[in-house]
Amino acid sequence: MTAKVTFVTVESGSSNMQERQNRLAQLIEQLLQEGWTQTTLAAAIGVDFSTIYRWMKSKTIPEPDSKNFRQLAKLSGGNSRSLQLYLDGEISLSAYRQGLEKKPLEEVKSGKSSTAERIKKEVLAKIYSLEPLDIAEVISSSVAFLANLE
């Protein structure tokens, strides 16, 4: 099965595009710091390893309406809209990753962000990037784990 990959090439005269690419590279770097590798990230998104490398080196960026863009958003804890807001510089990386635009204003102002909530978001983002059979295996393993706690 061959996946269609669409890129936008960053031109030297396009500072806005370069800023978007730099933000994308920051997001990928954060994912790598959280335990992803370029290879596992590429597999989860459905692209070649070299695509992740080009994203990190400011060579290309996925089209906002592409499957690659949606997959990247999903596994990094956001959606296409919030990823677009982050890449456009309208929200920070931490706001994007924490989903602050979805939280009630009182929670944002008070700075409340539960560690359990953050972990759940990270785990769900990784689960969403799996194939259905792998998700079923995760659920089965989780049920078995919970059964042993009783």
pLDDT in tens, 24-68: 999 999 999 988 999 999 999 999 989 999 999 888 889 999 999
Residue type, 50: S
Locate the domains of the chain by residue range.
7-149
Average pLDDT over residues 133-146: 86
Residue of higher predicted confidence among 5 and 55: 55
pLDDT in tens, 86-129: 999 888 888 888 764 444 434 433 444 567 777 777 777 777 77
Confidence class of residue 1 from pLDDT cuts 50, 70 and 90? low
Give φ, ψ of 104 to 5 degrees. Answer: -60, 145
DSSP 103: S
Q: Which has the closest alpha carbon to 125: 83, 84, 85, 88?
A: 83
Q: Is the pLDDT of residue 12 over 70?
A: no
Residue of higher predicted confidence among 10 and 119: 119
**Cα angle for residues 19, 24, 29 (degrees, 5° grid):** 125
**In sequence order, which residues have a C-beta less than 8 Å from that of residue 2 and are 6 or more positions away?**
none
CA gap 141, 91 in Å, rounded: 37
Look at phi and psi of residue 40 and say left if phi exceeds 0, alpha if psi is from -120 to 50, else beta.
Answer: alpha
In this prediction, residue 149 carries a pLDDT of 80
In this prediction, residue 28 carries a pLDDT of 93
In this prediction, residue 45 carries a pLDDT of 92
In this prediction, residue 14 carries a pLDDT of 61
CA gap 44, 38 in Å, rounded: 10
